[in-house]
Structure 1
């Protein structure tokens, strides 16, 4: 079964978009007009590819019939036998491309992203693992040409992170990183372990699309902002002025702190950016909860309590539990070679959503 609506249904949706784009009022809203144009482009390509796929399928069927016919000219049968593998390969590639187009892209995919990593169970070892994850994402960001901007951090006594929050800016950041939300588990022998026993520790990762001003309105009266002297090293710098900022969002009880900058204004701006992104995520989670059944059709819910991945050092193995994906190149993964697993997660999520969309369109 192809994960593809009928060409008739695609044409109907394309006609709807044609009518929508012909309405002059749409150009009064630049964002709406751009979204409509992108959807029209997606549907046009989907229609063209689906027509091409149907044509290929007819050719494949004809070739198979020729191979079954013992009375057919041997030269024609040989030609059909030679062409069939190529036709089938082209058909498979087309179907994969169509699958990626069936599900409209997430509007947040192109956004910059706020990531939060926190040490979980495991004490000092968990904080060291949190630092490993931060380095892993930083190195991957370098390969993508993205920029990492630390927002807030809390170091442990062993040099790891109790918590680190940072902004990732670049092209399609959220599209690639959104499936990293959840519990990451590490199994290894800590440097302080004298008996060689393997310990299990965890760190949680949250991935939040950066919120824009138009996404939600925050009433200044609902905020309680306090400033204090930043703690930490740097006697003549950060910790000698009242630069640390803490913002309490009264309706939700959400608290964001930032003390990385020497400027109180910069710390406040960073804290507001994190707060806005957290509130946007909360809003989106509330919307998703209304359609709880749909979440079963996704790679992961993005819930921070969901164990998504295990990093096993003794076997140099990484396993993503959501798609049963395993590699034994753990060193490469930690050095930032995340593209393969991220692509696998993206394909699995798109295919699951496409199957759900097809089932809905045919029900």
Structure 2
């Protein structure tokens, strides 16, 4: 056999399930490792400051070229999300993200994702795998990690804003780390929304220990008395769900994964945490200054980006915003009082995909799961 031969492991969706991609508790633990390495700087992502979420193909709204793919309300996009992660992982990889709202009419999910792992020295492919479940699980594991470090240990009630795929995954993480949870209150686009009903059925099927499930008419009703609030609403400006500080119980933790409409004054009242300050600085640089006619800055929706602009505008100090990694690495305290209410901004990062892909790949190898594919016996001289 030639020393130049390269094989790599292909894992389809069923292979990924057998390899443990749906193990929420383990995924939370792996995300904790990722955040720790993030805090130590042992990672790289794209962009000039190595903190970019990814690089998107942006389609035009119109074109003179016949049959050229156009952007419209159906969310046509492709994103390349490359990263290197150090520590025990020491691997490079990428999630490739294709999305189109028309997919549902074909029986596909809106987004179709694949992940690749590569040897960081040679660039040779190690594994190519289905990544829809991988991406959903790592996304939901991050709110679980936040709750682990900031929620009260005897948390009983979860408030869900946006009962879709991300919050179904988040529920797996919450349930894995908080056996005390017995109540879930949720709000969707309407009390009879299909996503809310589907979430209720999902909880009933998977979490028999949760005895009370309420579909609420308003955000205020859903978050009242909640120990953990998780926002994952698939909406854009100006439809971000509104949240007010006064609606929350003392000691609550609010996790935002997409966008919330919170006033500047209310945001100042929270104890503020971000997963990656540098990433939100890049967001702010890309978006630039955007003001209302009266001269006040527009809310960004993405809470971490809001915090960046609030610091720049002198509304808060940089030290008012904690890094999740500093808490994970024991460099500062998380909760300092029983009544403290947290607002935590969580956005997806490709280092999370790489880490969970690496973990699933090694479990697959250990269990003999997947299909080995050959790249070449030896490369053709050219």
Q: TM-score, normalised by structure 2?
A: 0.23
Higher radius of gyration, 1 or 2: 1
Specify which structure has the bigger relative contact order, considering alpha-carbon pairs within 8 angstroms and separated by 6 or more residues. 2
Q: TM-score, normalised by structure 1?
A: 0.24
Higher helix share: 1
